[in-house]
Chains A and B, each alone.
Chain A
Amino acid sequence: MRIKATLAGLGLCALSVMTAQAQTTQPLKIGFLAEMAGIYGAPGQDQYDAFMLAVEERGGKLGDVPVQIFKEDTQFKPDVASQIVDRLMDREKVELFTGLTYTHIALAVYKKINDKGGFMIASNTGPAPIAGQGCVPNFFASTWQNDQLSEVVGKYAAEKGYKNVFALAPNYQAGRDFVAGFKDAYGKPLLDEVYTPVAQQDFSAELSMIQAASPDAVYVFYPGALGVNFVKQYHQAGLSTIPLLNTATTESINLPAQGEAAMGAVNGSFWGPDFDNDTSKHFVEAFEAKYKRIPSQYAAQSYDAALLIDSALRKVKGDLSDKDAFRAALKEADFKSLRGDFKFGNNHFPIQDFHIFEAYKDGKGRMNVRRIATPMVQAQDKFAAQCPMK
Chain B
Amino acid sequence: MSLFVAQILNSFQLGALLFLMSAGLTLVFGIMNFLNLAHGSLFMVGAYVGATVAAKTGSFTIAIIAAIVATMLLGVVAERTLLRQLYARDHLDQVLCTFGLLLIANEAVRYIWGPSPVFINVPAMLDGTVRIFGQNYPAYRFAIIVAGIVVVLGLYLLISRTRLGMLIRAGANNANMVSALGVNIKFLNTVVFALGAGLAGLGGLLIAPLVSVQPGMGEPILILTLVVIVVGGIGSIRGALYGALIVGLIDTAARVYMQIGLLQIFERSVGQAIGPAIASMLIYILMAIVLAFRPQGLFPVKHG
Q: How far is the CA of A38 from the CA of B10 in the complex (A)?
A: 29
Choose one: A195, A199, A206, A256; the contact of B116 (CB below 8 Å): A256
Tell me if B162 counts as interface (CB < 8 A to partner A): no
Tell me if B212 counts as interface (CB < 8 A to partner A): yes
Interface centre among B6, B13, B275 (most CB of A within 10 A): B6
Tell me if B140 counts as interface (CB < 8 A to partner A): yes
Across the interface, do B116 and A205 meet the contact criterion of CB distance under 8 Å? no
One of A19-27, A106-114, A229-237, A331-339 contacting the partner: A229-237
Tell me if A196 counts as interface (CB < 8 A to partner B): yes
Across the interface, do B121 and A201 meet the contact criterion of CB distance under 8 Å? no
Tell me if A14 counts as interface (CB < 8 A to partner B): no
Chain B residues numbered 200-223 whose CB sits less than 8 Å from any CB in chain A: 207, 209-217, 220
Across the interface, do A209 and B3 meet the contact criterion of CB distance under 8 Å? yes
Which residues of B sit under 8 angstroms from A37, Cβ to Cβ? 110, 115
A290 vs chain B, min Cβ distance (A) = 15
Tell me if A238 counts as interface (CB < 8 A to partner B): yes
Choose one: A195, A208, A256; the contact of B119 (CB below 8 Å): A256
One of B149-157, B252-260, B296-304 contacting the partner: B252-260
Across the interface, do A204 and B214 meet the contact criterion of CB distance under 8 Å? no
A264 vs chain B, min Cβ distance (A) = 16
Which residues of B sit under 8 angstroms from A199, Cβ to Cβ? 220, 280
Choose one: A38, A206, A238, A257; the contact of B117 (CB below 8 Å): A257
Q: How far is the CA of A237 from the CA of B122 in the complex (A)?
A: 12
Tell me if B261 counts as interface (CB < 8 A to partner A): no
Q: Known A199-B280, A238-B136; judge A212-B3 contact (CB<8 A).
A: yes
Chain B residues numbered 73-123 whose CB sits less than 8 Å from any CB in chain A: 106, 110, 115-119, 121-122
Across the interface, do B7 and A208 meet the contact criterion of CB distance under 8 Å? yes
Across the interface, do A253 and B116 meet the contact criterion of CB distance under 8 Å? yes
Across the interface, do A257 and B10 meet the contact criterion of CB distance under 8 Å? no
Which residues of A sit under 8 angstroms from B276, Cβ to Cβ? 171, 195-197
Q: How far is the CA of A319 from the CA of B278 in the complex (A)?
A: 55
Q: What size tier do the contact residues of chain A reach?
A: 35 or more
Q: Known A37-B110, A38-B216, A211-B136; judge A205-B253 contact (CB<8 A).
A: yes
Choose one: B10, B106, B138; the contact of A238 (CB below 8 Å): B138
Across the interface, do B14 and A202 meet the contact criterion of CB distance under 8 Å? yes
Across the interface, do B117 and A45 meet the contact criterion of CB distance under 8 Å? no
Tell me if B128 counts as interface (CB < 8 A to partner A): yes
**A249-260 near B? 1/0 per residue, CB < 8 Å:** 000011011110
Tell me if A177 counts as interface (CB < 8 A to partner B): no
Which residues of B sit under 8 angstroms from A197, Cβ to Cβ? 276, 279-280
Which residues of A sit under 8 angstroms from B176, Cβ to Cβ? none
Interface centre among B10, B115, B209, B252 (most CB of A within 10 A): B115
Q: How far is the CA of A257 from the CA of B117 in the complex (A)?
A: 6
Which residues of B sit under 8 angstroms from A209, Cβ to Cβ? 3, 256
Across the interface, do A257 and B212 meet the contact criterion of CB distance under 8 Å? yes
Which residues of A sit under 8 angstroms from B272, Cβ to Cβ? 193, 195
Choose one: A193, A201, A232; the contact of B209 (CB below 8 Å): A232
A214 vs chain B, min Cβ distance (A) = 11
Tell me if A225 counts as interface (CB < 8 A to partner B): yes
Across the interface, do B212 and A211 meet the contact criterion of CB distance under 8 Å? no
Which residues of A sit under 8 angstroms from B255, Cβ to Cβ? 205
Which residues of A sit under 8 angstroms from B118, Cβ to Cβ? 257
Tell me if B2 counts as interface (CB < 8 A to partner A): yes
Across the interface, do A39 and B215 meet the contact criterion of CB distance under 8 Å? yes
Q: Which residue of B lies closest to A231 (CB)?
A: B212
Choose one: B3, B210, B253; the contact of A229 (CB below 8 Å): B210
Interface centre among B7, B136, B253, B276 (most CB of A within 10 A): B276
Q: How far is the CA of A11 from the CA of B217 in the complex (A)?
A: 67
Q: How far is the CA of A293 from the CA of B255 in the complex (A)?
A: 39
Which residues of B sit under 8 angstroms from A237, Cβ to Cβ? 129, 138
Tell me if A36 counts as interface (CB < 8 A to partner B): yes
Tell me if B141 counts as interface (CB < 8 A to partner A): yes
Which residues of B sit under 8 angstroms from A211, Cβ to Cβ? 3, 6, 136
Tell me if A228 counts as interface (CB < 8 A to partner B): yes
B106 vs chain A, min Cβ distance (A) = 7
B171 vs chain A, min Cβ distance (A) = 34
Q: Which residue of A lies closest to B6 (CB)?
A: A208
**A46-65 near B? 1/0 per residue, CB < 8 Å:** 00000000000000000000
Q: How far is the CA of A208 from the CA of B212 in the complex (A)?
A: 20
Q: Known A39-B215, A197-B279, A228-B212; judge A204-B141 contact (CB<8 A).
A: yes
Choose one: B7, B116, B141; the contact of A257 (CB below 8 Å): B116
Which residues of B sit under 8 angstroms from A233, Cβ to Cβ? 138, 210-211
Q: How far is the CA of A39 from the CA of B129 in the complex (A)?
A: 31
Q: Which residue of B lies closest to A36 (CB)?
A: B115
Across the interface, do B13 and A204 meet the contact criterion of CB distance under 8 Å? yes
Tell me if A78 counts as interface (CB < 8 A to partner B): no
Q: How far is the CA of A199 from the CA of B256 in the complex (A)?
A: 16
A352 vs chain B, min Cβ distance (A) = 27
Which residues of A sit under 8 angstroms from B13, Cβ to Cβ? 204
Known: A41-B115, A256-B116. 6 other contacts (CB 8 A): A205-B253, A208-B10, A232-B210, A236-B138, A236-B140, A257-B118
List 19 interface pairs A-B (beta carbons < 8 Å), by A numbering.
Answer: A38-B110, A39-B215, A39-B217, A42-B117, A202-B14, A204-B141, A205-B7, A209-B3, A212-B3, A225-B117, A232-B209, A232-B211, A233-B211, A236-B141, A236-B209, A238-B128, A256-B119, A257-B119, A257-B213
The 4 closest A-B pairs by CB, nearest first: A208-B6, A204-B10, A228-B212, A171-B276
